[in-house]
């Protein structure tokens, strides 16, 4: 049991390092295993449009962080806040610390909530939220594949004028974002430390796009296919294979995709399903 649980509304660099390190240890070997860095933590928890810090509960045993749970406040145009965690150190598990952290941020939050992706292969994770009164909402597929140079090349964001209008149109048409939120999409992506214009791949004939984020740290590297916005299967597959070419060119170790769509296009491009995740919502949180 921690010595204390603090509720914070500031995200300092030192704390980012601590919670990033704990998160990296806790996801090792699961289907959502990925490089967790300070920029990744900051970009995931802080509002990109308003720079608002998260609602963050941190458990400590002395000076050591033993667990944390965070709520990223809704962006303008979003209806729900996003829950991250709870993340609990292995030595502190089965002490009800996860439940205490979750309850602390839920009680302090005024918005409807939705979790991040909860892997099905993590024993007890789904049951944890179900016991706490949360309900399953969406199923997400996780895929991996080795980078493969291909013949398909895509136009990149580095060479397209009026890119903000292009991305806003795609966000509204394919992702069904509200127009105000859609207009800010490119700005939000650019605030992510992993964003590179050369990794935003476009199909200008159809107004489609694929956002790929390069992630590197001491434990590995990958190209994350974060968004694929295209209506036609042929266009989606061209963009996916172009992303593999980007990964091969940048000498990244693997390509990973997380999708709520039918994963058939990723499988057709040589990727393999390695797991599934679900999101959960908390009924009655208004």
Interval 169-180: pLDDT, tens: 999 999 998 888
**Do 16 and 84 fall within a single domain?**
yes
**Do 114 and 32 fall within a single domain?**
yes
Q: What confidence category does residue 285 fall into, taking pLDDT thresholds of 50, 70 and 90?
A: low
Residue 77 falls within a domain, yes or no? Answer: yes
Domain interval for residue 256: 149-269
**Domain holding 86: CATH number?**
3.40.630.30
**Do 124 and 248 fall within a single domain?**
no
Interval 21-65: pLDDT, tens: 999 888 877 766 777 888 888 888 998 778 899 999 999 988 899
Interval 112-169: pLDDT, tens: 999 998 988 887 899 999 999 999 998 999 999 999 877 667 899 988 999 999 999 9
Distance CA 142, CA 272 (A): 8
**Do 118 and 221 fall within a single domain?**
no
Percent with pLDDT over 90 in the chain? 63
The per-residue pLDDT for 215 is 85
Residue 243 near residue 201, CB atoms below 8 Å:
yes
Q: What confidence category does residue 106 fall into, taking pLDDT thresholds of 50, 70 and 90?
A: very high
Residue 64 falls within a domain, yes or no? Answer: yes
Residue 274 falls within a domain, yes or no? Answer: no
The per-residue pLDDT for 140 is 92
């Amino acid at each position: 049991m921690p010595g204390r649980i603090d509720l914070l509304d500031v995200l300092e660099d030192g704390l980012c390092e601590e919670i990033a390190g704990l998160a990296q240890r806790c996801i090792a070997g699961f289907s959502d295993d990925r490089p967790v860095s300070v920029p990744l933590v900051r970009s995931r928890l802080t509002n990109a449009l308003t720079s608002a810090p998260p609602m963050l509960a941190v458990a400590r045993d002395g000076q050591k962080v033993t667990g944390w749970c965070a709520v990223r406040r809704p962006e303008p145009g979003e209806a729900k806040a996003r829950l991250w965690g709870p993340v609990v150190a292995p030595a502190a598990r089965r002490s009800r610390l996860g439940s205490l952290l979750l309850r602390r941020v839920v009680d302090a939050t005024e918005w409807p909530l939705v979790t991040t992706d909860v892997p099905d292969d993590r024993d007890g994770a789904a049951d944890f939220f179900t016991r706490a009164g949360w309900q399953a909402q969406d199923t997400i597929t996780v895929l991996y594949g080795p980078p493969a140079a291909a013949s398909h090349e895509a136009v990149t964001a580095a060479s397209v004028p009026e890119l903000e209008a292009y991305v806003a149109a795609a966000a509204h048409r394919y992702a069904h974002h509200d127009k105000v939120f859609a207009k800010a999409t490119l700005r939000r992506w650019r605030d992510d430390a992993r964003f590179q214009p050369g990794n935003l791949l476009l199909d200008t004939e159809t107004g489609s796009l694929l956002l790929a984020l390069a992630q590197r740290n001491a434990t590995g590297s990958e190209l994350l296919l974060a968004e694929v916005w295209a209506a036609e299967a042929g266009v989606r597959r061209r963009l996916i294979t172009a992303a593999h070419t980007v990964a091969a060119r940048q000498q990244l170790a693997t390509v990973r995709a997380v999708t709520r769509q039918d994963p058939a296009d990723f499988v057709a491009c040589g990727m393999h399903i390695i797991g599934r995740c679900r999101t959960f919502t908390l009924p009655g949180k208004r």
